[in-house]
Every structure is written in C-alpha cells, then in structure tokens.
Amino acid sequence: MKQWPDDVVASAAAQVRLTRRICDGVTFSEGQPINIRVPVSGHPAPRVTWLKDGHELLTEAGRREVWTEDQCAVLAVTRCQRTVDRGVYAVRVDNSLGADEASFTIDVTGELLVFLQ
C-alpha cells in the first residue's frame, strides 16, 4: 500500500448529499421544532448557503438558525409556522474546485389557530 507524505492534502469539489428521508420531502406539524442535517463535503471546506423558495434564507435569532458542524449543513427552527416555514429549501455549497446544490420540500401541517377578541 502506497503511503503519502504527511504534508499532502487531497482536494475535492464541494458536494451536497441529501439523505433519502430528506430527498422525499419532510413534513412537520405546526409548532414542532425542525432540525435538519444535510451532509456536505469538499476540500477546501465549502461555503454553505441555505435557500428557501429560490432566495437566500434569512435567519431569525432565537427562532430560525443555520450553521455548519461535523460536515453537515444544519437548519434549526424552534417552532415551525405553516405560513413562513413551508416551501422548497436548498443547500448550495461551493469551494475553489466546484459547486453543488440540492433541494427538498418542507411541509408544515396542522390548523392555524386564530384568536378572536
């Protein structure tokens, strides 16, 4: 078996790998937390961008956050809302060797509560 010197680093284009569960779309009940982890890879480490319905996803401190950890792009929503959280989501990654993107659907079910005064 050939051994490489310690200072050799392999390079790879950025890549997104949706799991089967996410590929088919995911459904949550209104008010339920959302926590989705999408595996990403590449060297140098890719830049990750989350999109919703074709637009860059904006975070809302304390309610909707995105980050990268353990080679996964993470989306977390504390209490999902049908009117703002359902839609087509995408994870876009890129590095100096290439780019990739994969999309999936999040549906939020349940009745909307309306309070009359």
Q: What is the pLDDT at residue 105?
A: 97
Read off the CATH number of the domain in which 32 is found. Answer: 2.60.40.10
**What residue numbers bound the domain in which 32 lies?**
12-109
For residue range 87-114, what is the model confidence (pLDDT) as tens digits?
999 999 999 999 999 999 999 998 655 5
Q: What is the pLDDT at residue 10?
A: 80
Q: What is the pLDDT at residue 16?
A: 97
**Spatial separation of the C-alpha atoms in residues 19 and 103, rounded to whole Å:** 11
Residue 75 lies in a domain: yes
**Spatial separation of the C-alpha atoms in residues 19 and 104, rounded to whole Å:** 10
Low-confidence ranges of the chain (pLDDT < 50): none
**Spatial separation of the C-alpha atoms in residues 91 and 102, rounded to whole Å:** 6
Residue 114 lies in a domain: no
Non-local (6+) Cβ contacts of 1 within 8 A are none
Q: What is the pLDDT at residue 113?
A: 55
Residue 41 lies in a domain: yes
Q: What is the pLDDT at residue 63?
A: 94
Give the count of domains, the chain.
Answer: 1
Total-model pTM: 0.84
Q: What is the pLDDT at residue 25?
A: 93
